[in-house]
Structure formats: C-alpha cells, structure tokens
Amino acid sequence: MERLERGLRVGILENKSIGNCSNNGISSQVASLILIPNDVCPEVPEISEGEKPILVEIEKRVIGGKDYFTAVPCDLKDSGKWYMFGGTYITTSDSRFPFNHPIPLHDRVEY
C-alpha cells in the first residue's frame, strides 16, 4: 500500500469562539490528520512507524480562473457523499508543507 507509506502530519485549526461546525465531521473527532501525496501535492515525507493515520489529500479546483485548494478526508472522498467546508483548516509548522497558508478542510456532510 504505497498510499500509506508517505504522509505529513497536519493539525486542525478552528475558531474556538464558535466551535466546530463540521456536523460531526472528522475534524470534530481528532486533532491531527495525515496529508498524503497525490498529483496536486506529490512531495510529503514518510509516515512514522506505529501511526494509524486518518488520511486526507489535497484537491485542486479552478474557480473564476483561479486555483483553489482544499483538503478532503480520503474515506469521505471515496464514499460518494457530497462534502463541503465545515469551518476548519489544516496546517503545520513543518517546512515540507506544500503551502504557505492553511488549507480549508472539507469534512462536513449534511444528511
């Protein structure tokens, strides 16, 4: 499973004054995730041994002619459900993070 061999631990940021708005999304359950490589974000380090990661990957969309990047939990992406922004972001202080700003986490699903 090459997909699980590489990844970068990222933290979840949320506005503490309003709390988590992900409708019980993954960001309401954990404090960190593992960003895995894909075509948009190919360069990430190896995952430490013993970690049981919750994986996210970066999606790229073009909106109004501009690139827009979001992070999506892999399990949610593969579920076929419609997912959206729930008010949280991912980031890390690790210099290997491929962006110089937090990335929106799309982990909210409405039933």
Q: What does each C-alpha distance from 77 to 17, 53, 72, 74, 81 come to in angstroms?
A: 29, 16, 6, 5, 7
Q: What is the pTM of this model?
A: 0.80
- The structural domains of the chain, with segments of one domain joined by +, span 2-105
Q: Give the per-residue pLDDT at 105.
A: 96
H or E stretch including 46? Answer: none
Percent with pLDDT over 90 in the chain: 38
Q: What does each C-alpha distance from 98 to 36, 105, 110 come to in angstroms?
A: 11, 15, 30
Residue 11 has pLDDT above 80, yes or no: yes
